A = this chain, B = another copy of it.
Amino acid sequence: MSEIISRDQLLEHWLGHRRVTRRTIEAFPDDNSFSTYSIGGMRTFATLVNEFLSMSVPTLVGIVSEEWPMERKEAPTTRAGALERWDADTKQIEALWPQISEGRFQETATAFGQWTMPVWGLLWYIIDNEIHHRGQGFVYLRALGVEPPQFPDRS
């Protein structure tokens, strides 16, 4: 059997997306629009980032330990506060990733007692959800007159 994507490639793919999201947080203006601006009644980018933070490490912890403690934190109110949590989480992701056991990606798990799917599906849901809502952050930036980061640049 030839693999589609390796474990190392998937981690690097995810971290690349996280770097784009980090630059999106940084791109918000020096006013408080990061935590106050939205369009059409949607959530602020600070609240969306809080959702990313609430999903990534807790889900990885669950995948590794099979315990799913729900973690609810207040949304960051500043870019600096968000970036601090972001960087701490990136380190945790890098530490947790090698602890995912061989074969675990194809096992079925129920995350936080609610979402039952293969482990690969849980991981993709986190990544896809971040891409989806970060795209919305790009629109907020454009509407604020700010050039968003380059989507293809994952460096």
Interface size class of A (residues with CB under 8 A): 35 or more
> Contacting chain B: which of A52-60, A62-70, A74-82, A123-131?
A123-131
Contact A39 B139 (CB under 8 A): yes
Is A96 part of the binding interface, using a Cβ–Cβ cutoff of 8 Å?
Answer: no
Question: What is the oligomeric copy number?
Answer: 2
The reply to whether the CB of A40 lies closer than 8 angstroms to some CB of chain B is yes
A102 sits at the interface (CB 8 A)? yes
**What are the residues of chain B within 8 A of A4 when measuring CB–CB?**
3-7, 10, 105-106, 120
Given contact pairs A40-B142, A41-B142, A129-B151, enumerate 11 new A-B contacts (beta carbons under 8 Å): A2-B102, A2-B103, A2-B106, A5-B105, A9-B118, A13-B124, A39-B39, A40-B139, A42-B139, A132-B132, A132-B138
Q: Could you list some 8 contacts between A and B, CB below 8 A?
A: A2-B103, A2-B106, A4-B5, A9-B120, A40-B142, A40-B143, A42-B139, A132-B132
